[in-house]
Amino acid sequence: MDKIPKKIKFPEDESAHNNILEWWYFNGNLRDTKGNKYAFMDCLFKIDANRAKIPFLKVPFKTLYFSHSLLLDIKSKKMSSELNPVSIVSLDSFSTPLLFINYLSPSRRGYINYEIKQTDYSTYHIKTKNVELNFISTKKPLLEGGTGFVRLTPEKSSYYYSLTNLRTKGKIKIKNKWIEVEGKSWMDHQWADVPYSEDKWTWFSIQLENNIEIVCYEYNSGKNKTYLATISYPDGKQKHFSEIKLTPLCKKWKSEKTGAVYDTKWKIEIPLENITLEAEAVVKSQELVFGIINYWEGPIKIKGTFGNRKVKGEGFMELVGCPFGCTKVKFLRQELNDKIKDLKKNLPLKLFPG
C-alpha cells in the first residue's frame, strides 16, 4: 500500500513503471464517410509474472506483456477480437522521452507489428491488426479522484489518469478492407502494486455532446465496495465524487459460451451534481474470454439529465467479475475440443488419423 503517493508527472508517467500490474487502454466511437458507425478497444497489459499470482499463468520470465483488442461494426453487430496471451515488446520500447511501445503477438499465421506511440505532448498513434488511428488530446489529463491516486479498498490502491477527449482520425479494417474513419476516443493509463484477485468492477467512460466527460465505477472486492466519479468540464475544471449510485435496469444478456449473465442497461446517479444518466449497450453480445477470465466490453449510448438540462452522448462500459453459468472445468474442456476441431480444419488430415 502506498503511504505517501507520488504526484503524477507528464510525460514521464505516461511510460512504464516497476509495478505488479499496468495497462494502456484506448476505446472509441467512430464513423466512416457514409455515416456507418464502429467502435474499438485496444489494451496492452504489463505484469510482473512472479508477483501477479494469476492461477493459470506460469512463465519463465519476470515481465509479461499481453494485449486485448476488439473492433465492432455496429450496423452488422459483428465483432472481431484479438486476445493475445503473449506480446513481445521491442528492445527500444520505453527508450524515448515520450511514450513509445512497439510490440508483436506471434501466431501460427505469422505476426503483425503493433504500436502505441506518443508523437508529441498531446498527439498519439496506435496500430493493431485491424486499427490504425491518430489522436489529438483536446483537454488536459483527467486525474481520477483529483490526484490520480485512488484507493480501491483499504489495502489496494492504484495510480490512474485518463485522456477523455481524443479527436480521432485514421482507418480500420472491415471484411479485409481498410475504411477511413473519424470520431472521438478515450485513453486510460493505470498502474498498481496489486496482485490478481477475484475482484469485480462496473466501469463507464462517458463522453457527452456538451463537451463534458465522466469516468465512474464501482469496485467490489467482496468485502468492500468503492465508488468514484470524476468529471471533466468544457473549461478544463474537474470535479470528483465518491457518492454515486449505479443501478442495473433489468436488461440482461446471457452468454452462450460461458453462461454468464451481464446487465446491459444502467442508471448512473451523481446526486451532489444533480446528474441522472441511463447507459445502454449498443450491441449486447460483447463478451471477451481470456483463459478463465470473462468480461463484457463495448460501446454504450447515453441519455439523461445534467443539472436542469437534458443530455446525450456515447461511451464505453466494462463489466468484470460476472460468474460463469457453467463450471470452468467444463468450459475449458469445450474450449480444448473447439481448438482441436479448428486444427483439424486447417492442418493436413494425415496428422489426425482418427
The pLDDT tens digits of the residues spanning 185-207 come to: 999 999 998 875 678 999 999 99
Nearest in space to 273 (alpha carbons), one of 305, 249, 310, 303: 305
Exposed, middle or buried, 260 (CB in 10 Å: 0-12/13-18/19+)?
buried
- Contact assessment for residue 241 and residue 273, using Cβ atoms and an 8 Å cutoff: yes
**For residue 353, what pLDDT is reported?**
42
* 291 in any annotated domain: yes
* 10 in any annotated domain: no
Look up residue 333 and give its three cell numbers: 474442456
- Pick 304 or 321 by higher pLDDT: 304
Q: In angstroms, how far is CA 169 from the centroid of its own chain?
A: 19
* 14 in any annotated domain: no
Nearest in space to 112 (alpha carbons), one of 125, 129, 126, 100: 129
Q: pTM value?
A: 0.90
Q: In angstroms, how far is CA 215 from the centroid of its own chain?
A: 13
- Pick 344 or 9 by higher pLDDT: 9
* 122 in any annotated domain: yes
Report the distance separating Cα 113 and Cα 70, nearest Å: 16
- CATH number, domain containing residue 317: 2.40.370.10
List, in order, residues 6 or more apart from 122 with CB less than 8 Å away. Answer: 136, 137, 138
- pLDDT over 90 (residue 325): no
* 7 in any annotated domain: no
- pLDDT over 60 (residue 329): no
DSSP per residue over 80-99, as a string?
A: EEEEES--EEPTTTT-SSS-
* 2 in any annotated domain: no
Domains in the chain, number: 1
Report the distance separating Cα 166 and Cα 124, nearest Å: 9
Report the distance separating Cα 318 and Cα 280, nearest Å: 12
**For residue 57, what pLDDT is reported?**
56
Report the distance separating Cα 12 and Cα 96, nearest Å: 10
* 1 in any annotated domain: no
The pLDDT tens digits of the residues spanning 99-145 come to: 999 999 887 677 889 999 999 999 999 999 999 999 999 999 999 99
Give me Rg for the CA atoms of the chain. 20
- pLDDT over 50 (residue 208): yes
Helix (H/G/I), strand (E/B), else coil: 38: strand
* 305 in any annotated domain: yes
- Residue whose cell numbers read 501460427: 108
- pLDDT over 90 (residue 90): yes
Mean pLDDT of the chain: 89
The pLDDT tens digits of the residues spanning 43-76 come to: 999 999 877 766 555 666 789 999 999 999 999 9
- Pick 141 or 352 by higher pLDDT: 141
Tell me the residue range of the domain where 91 lies: 19-349
Report the distance separating Cα 189 and Cα 25, nearest Å: 6
Q: Picking from 94-108, 137-151, 264-278, which range would have the lowest pLDDT averaged per residue? A: 94-108
